[in-house]
């Protein structure tokens, strides 16, 4: 993305909220209900090594998935899991070409015609 700051600004102007995942933020369990009740589209910022202060001050929520250093991928996974209340694990894609049939052992995949 060429200009992430103007992207954030436009997102907010268009009525969305901005969530920045950072170990310095507020515990997710304390704010998740508030975020869900806003019922707005969410832009999620997941930083890597160095995130400019600007993003802390222009995000609507700075949220910690635990106040420890952690994997950004793991933080994103837990955040989405809380947003979807676990329902993301059961999502089926109506246009899927392949479907996995859960198995105790081994693999079973079917082709959808």
Binding site for a copy of itself (CB under 8 A): 23-29, 53, 56-57, 62, 64-68, 71, 73-78, 81, 86, 88-91, 99-100, 102-109
Integer Cα distance of 42 and 35 in angstroms: 9
Q: Could you tell me the smallest distance in angstroms from the CB atom of residue 101 to a copy of itself?
A: 8
| E strand spans, 1-113 | 17-27, 42-46, 61-64, 98-100, 109-111
CA geometry: angle 82, 29, 66, nearest 5 deg: 95
Give the residue with the Cβ less far from a copy of itself, 6 or 30. Answer: 30
Q: Could you tell me the smallest distance in angstroms from the CB atom of residue 69 to a copy of itself?
A: 9
């Amino acid at each position: 993305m060429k200009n992430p700051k103007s992207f954030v600004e436009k997102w907010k102007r268009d009525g969305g909220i901005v969530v920045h995942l950072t170990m310095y933020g507020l515990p997710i369990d304390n704010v998740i209900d508030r975020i869900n009740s806003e019922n707005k589209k969410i832009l999620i910022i997941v930083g890597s090594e160095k995130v400019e202060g600007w993003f802390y001050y222009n995000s609507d929520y700075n949220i910690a998935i635990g106040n420890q250093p952690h994997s950004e991928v793991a933080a994103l996974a837990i955040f989405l899991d809380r947003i979807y209340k676990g329902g993301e694990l059961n999502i089926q894609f109506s246009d899927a070409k392949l479907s996995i049939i859960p198995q105790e052992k081994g693999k079973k995949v079917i082709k959808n015609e």
